[in-house]
Structures are given as structure tokens and as C-alpha cells.
Structure 1
């Protein structure tokens, strides 16, 4: 039985049209305003070549802006935190100049991952569904880090010997469209650009792919993970290609894969020392969460995980029980979920994923104070942990403790200033706490990340009008307003 046979929801054509238009319109103004920047970056020209490091950073910010506007994302803190943990396990062994990476999880059940200039790493939720082991999942991340480290996008642009702004805009649109749909749709949506050049830019060359394979295998081995996960993952993609009648998975649209390349990767992987590489339990718990998300219905997910537990499927016992608990939670059966999670915690006290999910169940079961106590205790043992802080803030908000929730969301936005989800939640908490200035400031940061500087300026003007002159907050708001106003002037 397969949980992901029908996606929960699909990315629609309106997202695609908005994404292409958004990038084409915004790429000409490569002087973006970043959330909580103290100064506005300007685009210089160091590093040589057609695309400088500053330009790559600006491209990355524009891409993130367009993704926020146009593609549904998964903000589940357990999923996002796991992705960050596996990427940063690999990063020390990747030859990257810029290690300030930003990660995004696209809400799509298709297999895909992408790397964009400026340090953007993206995955579809479907990569978790199809990568059966953590080693296979990590191999895709290592491959994408290798593309970034070798600056393949910039090198391909230099080969094309063109820097026309609209061509660059089209190439960017095509890259991101290929990440959330199929590459031919991405190409078709790019009106007024050199379609053939874009097509060539989207498809990494054989030399690029071989180099990314080689560098990626080294990254995996140096990080203590299994290089054999890479050819295994490639085999899974090829099987998907055959199952879909020759319609390749999204990933293969931009990363051409052949049997000879798989054989070469398998041969290279076999030359590394043969060691046992055990997956972390965390990967399989996160994978179970996404299997529930993409199931036909929560009740179907309950039946499937129950079948695993009853011995009618191959899944480790803790993972199957956890998946069943998540399925009960999504099926509005928090009592059953709570019982399972308490049992799991009795066997493995202190596991954060179980604790956070139990807090979710307690909140759904009307036991908000108990959820707060659980998360406060967990936070005491794990200071600064993102999923715990996130869930504690949600519980405080649910309990009507608006100021405590706002304080926690402020802490989170300080740590993760690029999260539109957190700025939205902070605005809601500030509103519940009747801190109108705080609402306007949080909304302004949200609009900045979404690329709507006019709306951001209006929010900051409202905040400024409500703060007495000469106060520290007035100075902060005025400085931010000045930055937004300058950015708008540079756009015109």
C-alpha cells in the first residue's frame, strides 16, 4: 500500500504564471531589501566572470522572494529542522565559499531538489517519500551542494556569453519553474526570452553532472555517510521514469540521468571503504509525517500504519507507531495519538520529535496548559531548539498568553529572519497582545520578504505615527522606513 498515491494538493498554473512574472519584473532591480538588514546591499562586481558573488546573492534573494509568492511550502518545524540538520552535516565537507544557506521545502509529492545561486537549497516533500533511506536522501543534498560549490549555473551562463537582463530573468524563471513543475512548462511560460538558451541553461551538462557526482560522493564519505546512497537514489529515479511511461521525474528534467552515469556512480561509490551506515531514526519519523501529509486521507493513513504494526508491511516498529500517532492526529483523533506518543516517550524519554508531536496532540485534546508545561520542560533541556520553541509559542498563543507568544516569536524571527511564516505568526500574536506598533513592524517585515515594498512602507509609516518621538523604538522604525524608501527609489 502506498500512502502517496494521491497528492494532498498540487501546484497550480496560477502559481507558475505569477512566478515567471515575478522574476521577470524584479530581476532588473537587483538591490533587494533583506529582512532586518542594517544597510542596503549594492551590486558590485568582484570575483570576476559574468556573474559576481554579489550578483549570485542578489539572484538568490530574488528567487526566494518569488518562491514565497508563488509556491506552497511546508513550514512544519520538524521537517524544516531535519532538512537543516542533514544539510549542515554535509556542509563542512563541501568546498563552498558561502556557507550561509537558505532552505525551502516545496509542498509537492514529486521527486525534486534544486540549488540556486546565492546559496538556496530546495527540496520537494516528495523527495522524502521516495528516498527509502537517509543515505539516499543525503546523496541528493550532497549532489546539490556540489553544484553550488562548483558554481555550475554561473559557468553555464558564461559559456552562453550573454548578460541581457531579460535573458537572465528568463533563465531564473525557468530554473524555479522546473523546481515546482515540469521543465517544458517552465520554458513555455518564459515569454520574450531566448528559449533555446534557457533550455540549455536548465539542463546541466554531462560534465557538470559527473563533476557534481564526484564532488557529492566525496562530501558524503567525508561526512560519514554512505556514498552508495547516490546510485541507489538514481536507480529509484530511473524506476519512477519507467513507471511513469517515460515521463521523467521533475529532477531528471534538469539533471539528465543515463544508465551509464548510474554505473559510473556505482563504480566510484564502490571504491570508498565499505562500512556500515545506519540511518538516524529521525529521518524515518520525518518521512512518516510526510507520508501522512500526502496520503489520500488521514483515515487511509491510519489504516496503512496500523497494517505495518500488524505485520503486513516492512517498517521499523517505532516509525510505524509514530506514523500511526500522526495519522490519528490528522484524523482529529488526538486521544489515540496521545496514548501512542506517551508510550513512545516511555520507551525513549526526551526524544524531541515525540515531545513536540505530543504537545500537538495535547493542544488538540484541549490540554493546552499541559502542552505548555511539556514544551517548557523540553526547552529547559534543549535551549534554543527550533521545533520546541515553535510549538511552545503556538501553545502560548492558543492559551491566550499573547505576550509570551509574541516574545517567543520575536526570538524565532531574530534567529530565522527569512521566514514569512514566523513574521505572520508574530503579527498575529502582537495583535492579540494589543501591541499595534508590533503588528505593523511584523507585517512590514513580511511584506519586505514578499517583495511588496509599498505595503511595507505603509506599515512602517503607521508604526512611526504611533510611537513617540525620541524613543528607541521610534528610531528603529524610522531607520527601517528609510531603508525601504531608499529601496523603492532605486527600483524606479
Structure 2
């Protein structure tokens, strides 16, 4: 029997073992309901990273791992939380979350795969539903709030996230969120096999855990959330090391993901969301060690526009391109900086053809449409703007603003108000959103736009009531 078949067989055996042991967990329908409530709680906190390039990489790694599983009761989805902590978590219904702080602290895609493999194993074995079943003293809506609070935390630390959890349930109930050591061992065993079967280096889980564990010296208040909810890390490291000594060389990692792409995403997340001064200092420190590191120069190119240092950003992006000529991800970000600098033509010329690359297709389409709008070619920009709105309007809300301007130039007052209302709705400027949406309802003929405007007003009223309650 080949190594690949052995791995597949062991995975199936472990899965069957999980399914037998999980017979007493909450029902599939209950878990689906809770997953829906949980995602609603998460969306209200506006803490998910929507950057297409970063999300595409995490989702691609996750999909490769989940593809090794037999059919599951839930479709697996992978998300990035805008939080600098070291944490990752599986939640009801096959939703897997990893904090950006964990991603930016890892060294390679195999470490990310190791963490995602472990969390996917928790989901496949329905360990989360077991924990929920043990806590039926509270209702599922409350538990959804608890999980959302513990998972998301706060931009400045864990205290706010803990407050959300404690407000949702009595003190002591949050211990429900910690996996048992038996759960952890099971997830490690299965996670390693899944990542290996997906052609990632299984050593990634070990080195990833070691990085998380290295933060333990900060003290109990600063221990990464991952260690609080995933106990026994020291014993787990010993077990995983022993397993790797016996089986770690059985497969040759060949997952097809360019290691440089992971480096770009890692530094992109730091550049987009990290504290500017601290991140710049860290990038400069890395460049002192390796002055020609294209991924770090790229990170600088992402970071510096946040403080309007566009010329410096372009210098770093050109340095990155000097090492990685025609790299599409670096070209795309260079085009973005030219857009910010007001040079639509240079941006458009630089990004030609990038919309054909799946991981950045939507982003490239949006930037190209933005460039055309900037050059006064609204009619040509419209197609790209509408395509962006259809697939990722919440990610690129300014596409609605540009469409409002296109409608204004055509003297389409009803659509101008609709698109402005949608723009303000997406950026949570609800007072302005309601004003323009009501104007659009009065002017628009019956149809999809008018219905959408009414639905948005209804959603804003619903959110207002929830905040009051």
C-alpha cells in the first residue's frame, strides 16, 4: 500500500472514531442554527478582515485540508479576525477563524496549514458541539454571543472580548470554551494526517505551536487565547515531536502554493492593520538583516500610504519589483498607490491583465475601474464597478460612490441617491444612508433597487433596536 493510501486510510479511521464519540453532541440542525446566530454576532462587531488577497490564501490552504475529509454535514469556511493576538478557533457549523496576529507571527504556509488542520479536525470531530452540549444551562443565542466575544477579543487586547463573554453568561461558564486534553490530542492526531495528506509539511503544526508557546512567558494576563482554549500545549509538543520522528519524512510537501505568496500576505496584514509606528520599526529591523527582502519592501509599500507617505511607498515597491520582476501582487499594490496619488493612467497601464489572476481578480477589476473613473471614463468604468458591486461591494464600498458619480453625470438622480445610500450604508454612516435611500425610494421605479433600499433601511432599524436591547 502506498504512503498516500495509508494516510487516507488512517484519516478515515480517525474520522469514524470521531463520529462514534460525538453521538451525544447537539444535533446538526441545532448546530446550524447556532452557526447562523454566531455569524450574525461576529458581523455586528465588524472585526473580520475582508482583504481579498489574504482571505484567498487562508481559504485556499483550508480548502486543500478539508478536501482530505469525507463528506461533512457543514460546508467549511475560513476567516481572518482583525486582532493582533495569537489565536485560532473552530466554531459551530464548520467555521474556522484565525487571528491576523497569529498569521503575522508564523514563518511559512506549512505552519498556517498546521494550525488550520488542527482547527478543521476539531470541527470534523464536532468538539465544539460537545462543549455546547455540556452547557445547556444557557440558550444557544447566549452561547453564540459568548463564542463571538472570546473569539474576537478587542483591537487593544483581550479585556473587551472577555467583557463581552462575561456579559453574556455567568462567571465560570467560559471554561466551557476550553477543549479537553483528549479533544486536543485527537485534533492533533487527525490534523497532522490531514495536513500531510494535503501535501503540507506536518512539521508546521509543531513549529507553529512552539511559536505560540513562546509567548507564555508574558504572564497569565498575556497568555495567548490559543493556550487558554487549547490546553496541554507542552505535552502536545512532545507528542507531535515523537510522531514526526517516526513519520515526518513519509511524504514530500508539494502543495503548489508559492512560499513567497505567504510572505506577502503576512507582511500585507501587518502593513494594513498593525500599529503604524511599531510595524514600521519591525519592517526596518527586518530590512537591516536583509536589505533586499522583497516581501518586507512590499509590506512597507502597504503600510506607508496609511500615513500619506506615498512617494516612500513607491520607492519600497520598486525595490520589491527589482527582486521580483512582474510579480502580480506587487504590481497590483503599486497600481493602488498610484491611484492614491491621483495618477489613474499610470495605475491602469500597470495593472493590465491582473484581473485574470484568481486570487486578486476582484481587487484588480475594482482598481482598474477606479482608474478609468479617475481618467473621466465613467462609461468604461461602469462595467468593472458593477462587477465589483456584485461580488465584493462590502469589501470595496467606494465602488458604490464611484457608481453614484457615474449616475450623476448621466443625470440619473434616483440611482445617484441609491448608490450614495448604499455607500454610506456599507461604511456604517447610517444617518446619511437613510437620507439618500429614502430619496431613492421616492424616485426609483418598482424593482430590485427600490426593494434593496427598503431592505437596507429595515436592516439599519433592526441593528438600532439590537444595540438598544
**TM-score by shorter chain over 0.5:** yes
Structure of greater relative contact order (alpha carbons < 8 Å, 6+ residues apart):
1
* Residue number in structure 1 paired with 2:348: 372
CA distance in 1, matches of 2:420, 2:63: 29
Instruction: Determine which of 79, 82, 90 is the counterpart of 2:57.
Output: 82
How far off is 1:113 after superposition?
Answer: 1.6
Whether 1:421 and 2:400 are equivalent positions in the alignment is: no
How far off is 1:414 after superposition?
Answer: 3.2
Higher percent of residues as helix: 2
Instruction: Determine which of 243, 260, 270 is the counterpart of 1:268.
Output: 243
Output the aligned Cα RMSD.
4.2
CA distance in 1, matches of 2:74, 2:391: 16
Cα gap change, 1:86 to 1:382, in 2 (>3 Å)? closer
CA distance in 2, matches of 1:322, 1:228: 28
CA distance in 1, matches of 2:279, 2:456: 49
Cα gap change, 1:139 to 1:421, in 2 (>3 Å)? same
Listed as ranges, the matches of 1:27-42 within 5 Å are none
* Residue number in structure 1 paired with 2:150: 178
Relative to the length of structure 2, the TM-score reads 0.75
CA distance in 2, matches of 1:383, 1:296: 26
Output one character per residue of 1:42-63: Cα deviation in whole Å (capped at 9) or x when no partner: xxxxx99764444433433332
1:403 touches 1:429 (CA, 8 Å); kept in 2?
no
Relative to the length of structure 1, the TM-score reads 0.72
Listed as ranges, the matches of 1:180-199 within 5 Å are 180-181=152-153, 182=158, 186=162, 189-191=165-167, 193-196=169-172, 198-199=173-174
How far off is 1:329 after superposition?
Answer: 4.0
CA distance in 2, matches of 1:138, 1:57: 25
CA distance in 2, matches of 1:294, 1:459: 31
Listed as ranges, the matches of 1:91-110 within 5 Å are 91-95=66-70, 97=72, 100-110=75-85
Listed as ranges, the matches of 1:67-466 within 5 Å are 67-95=42-70, 97=72, 100-160=75-135, 162=136, 166-181=138-153, 182=158, 186=162, 189-191=165-167, 193-196=169-172, 198-244=173-219, 247-274=222-249, 277=253, 280-293=259-272, 297=276, 304-309=282-287, 312-313=288-289, 317-342=293-318, 344-345=320-321, 347-380=323-356, 385-399=361-375, 401=377, 407-416=383-392, 420-422=394-396, 424-434=397-407, 436-437=414-415, 440=418, 463=440, 465-466=442-443
CA distance in 2, matches of 1:449, 1:100: 29
CA distance in 1, matches of 2:271, 2:310: 15
**Gap runs ≥5 in structure 2:** 1-21
1:221 touches 1:272 (CA, 8 Å); kept in 2?
no
How far off is 1:229 after superposition?
Answer: 1.1
Output one character per residue of 1:139-198: Cα deviation in whole Å (capped at 9) or x when no partner: 1111122222222222222344x2x6x5322322221111122489637744474544x3
SS in 1 for 2:104: helix
**Gap runs ≥5 in structure 1:** 1-46
CA distance in 2, matches of 1:53, 1:457: 39
* Residue number in structure 2 paired with 1:3: none
How far off is 1:400 after superposition?
Answer: 5.4
How far off is 1:359 after superposition?
Answer: 0.6
Count of residue pairs brought into register by the alignment: 428
CA distance in 1, matches of 2:73, 2:376: 42
How far off is 1:459 after superposition?
Answer: 8.3
1:171 touches 1:201 (CA, 8 Å); kept in 2?
no
1:174 touches 1:187 (CA, 8 Å); kept in 2?
no
Cα gap change, 1:342 to 1:178, in 2 (>3 Å)? same
Cα gap change, 1:53 to 1:425, in 2 (>3 Å)? farther
Cα gap change, 1:91 to 1:484, in 2 (>3 Å)? farther
1:153 touches 1:201 (CA, 8 Å); kept in 2?
no
2:366 touches 2:399 (CA, 8 Å); kept in 1?
no
SS in 2 for 1:130: coil
After superposing the two structures, state which structure 1 stretch, 170-179 or 393-402, moved more. Answer: 393-402
After superposing the two structures, state which structure 1 stretch, 215-224 or 255-264, moved more. Answer: 255-264
1:444 touches 1:457 (CA, 8 Å); kept in 2?
no
How far off is 1:88 after superposition?
Answer: 2.4
